[in-house]
Amino acid sequence: MKTAIFWFRRDLRLEDNKGLHAALLSGKPVQTIFIFDRQILEELPEDDARVTFIYQSLQAIHQNLLSFGSSIRILHGDPLKVWERILATEDVAEVFINRDYEPYAVERDRQIEILLKKQGIALRSYKDQVIFEKDEVLKNDGTPYTVFTPYKRRWIEAMIHNKPSPLDFPSSPSLKPSSHPFPELGEIGFQHSEIQIPPYDLTIAQDYESTRNFPALDATSHLSPHLRFGTVGIRSVLNRLKTENEVFLSELIWREFFMQILSHFPRVVDQNFRRKYDGIQWRNNEMEFSMWCEGLTGYPLVDAGMRQLNSTGFMHNRVRMVCASFLCKHLLVDWRWGEAYFALKLNDYELSSNNGNWQWAAGTGCDAAPYFRIFNPHEQLKKFDKDLKYIQQWVPEYGSPGYNQYIVDHTYARTRALETYKSGIKR
């Protein structure tokens, strides 16, 4: 019998997996695969924590499938060429995937669909990583929302009327018998990272509103990397959230808001959403950018955040805003520089959210903080880490003669930023 193939990508789980579920109902034995994409991997360090996390998640899937007499086939290379090899050696009936919305993935899937179609093989794709895709939450006139609050209102209204339920993995799945060997991480050119991505914890949602702004508290769900790589499904998360957790729910809606912005306006990948800011003259001082990256700015909250990021691949959300604002406004470094650095370091890196949040901080985005809103790092420290617990953890030399002087005076930097933005705005 011909085989149906389910291709894991950013949906690394068996439970509540739309594409996998559909494949298992196809009536054909299902072989699962994963492709380590060389085009993505070649840009990453050998000990990248995200690659280790993907590898460990795939190991767990593999062990689970072995209990059903099947296995996952791990492949490595350019996805189009990998698929050419698969089709040359296997009798494939259908291919099942969950949709990905990033520009690279959209083009990759388009090319593979063309390849499959030439051989009379259908590529069946499913909505899995979001509750609503780009055309499912629109204004009354059919255009996309570019302001969050009305988008959120419509999103919640739509979700109440059509709340999706998680899908169970069947007890007797129609899997193709197989025992593909599981490779060592070194075989794809990587080594295990010392940074471990922690498990997610949804119990924090009930107190999220009162605790979310204090970086010294361990009050973060750590959900974002799990949603990013699909080790948990968004439907399962929503199903476990209580209706009163609206502040936490808002964070999940922001994720989909930025995804639909990227889908409708793919130019935002490397362009300002608001073109009137194209005239800003960024200073882009490389030495100052390097000091920001290393957490050596002399502003303890900024430095603590950057050191936390460099050491753990994680940064508290409040601190992310302060660090991003500082780079764009205090140092007048192009937001694209900061976005690229976060993309390299963040365990939960998501193109749409990273881009949307950096443009928010820079004032250039669709629903951005106004350009004249400039975070005061001193006041942010007083409000959100007044006992200096977070600072003491990440900047132990703070308060001693060994701590850096300010890289730039706040009052001077604020005035300079306002003048630069005003003169750069296209009327």
- Helix axes of 286-294 and 335-345: crossing angle, nearest 10 degrees: 30
Strand partners, 33: 7, 73
Q: CA end-to-end span of the chain, whole Å?
A: 65
Phi/psi at 3 (5° precision)? -105, 140
Q: Return the sign of the alpha-carbon dihedral for residues 275, 277, 280, 282.
A: negative
Residue 31: phi and psi, rounded to 5, are -105, 130
282 an active-site residue? yes
Catalytic residue among 83, 335, 337, 360: 335
Q: Which of 7, 83, 155, 358 is catalytic?
A: 358
Helix 351-362 / helix 246-264 crossing angle, nearest 10 deg: 100
Q: Is 317 a catalytic residue?
A: yes
Structure letter (DSSP) for residue 281: -
Marked catalytic residue, from 254, 337, 360, 394? 254
- Residue reference for tokens 């994720």: 255
Of 84, 284, 317, 379, the catalytic one is 317
Type and span of the H or E element at 23:
helix 18-24
Specify burial of residue 24 (Cβ count, 10 A radius: 0-12, 13-18, 19+).
buried
Assigned token pair, 268: 């935002």
What are the CA-CA distances from residue 170 to residues 24, 25, 65, 323 (Å)? 8, 10, 12, 46
Alpha helices in 119-207 (DSSP H): 148-161
The Cβ of residue 405 has, within 10 Å, a number of other Cβ atoms equal to: 6
358 classed as catalytic? yes
Of 133, 251, 310, 376, the catalytic one is 251
Question: Is 284 in contact with 334 (CB distance < 8 Å)?
Answer: yes
102 classed as catalytic: no
Going by C-alpha positions, the residue among 152, 96, 107, 129 that lies closest to residue 10 is 129
For residues 222 and 200, give the distance between their C-alpha atoms in angstroms, rounded to a whole number: 5
Give Cα separations from 116 to 4, 18, 121, 139 (angstroms): 13, 21, 5, 36
In the set 213, 282, 376, 404, the catalytic residue is 282
Catalytic residue numbers read 251, 254, 282, 317, 335, 358
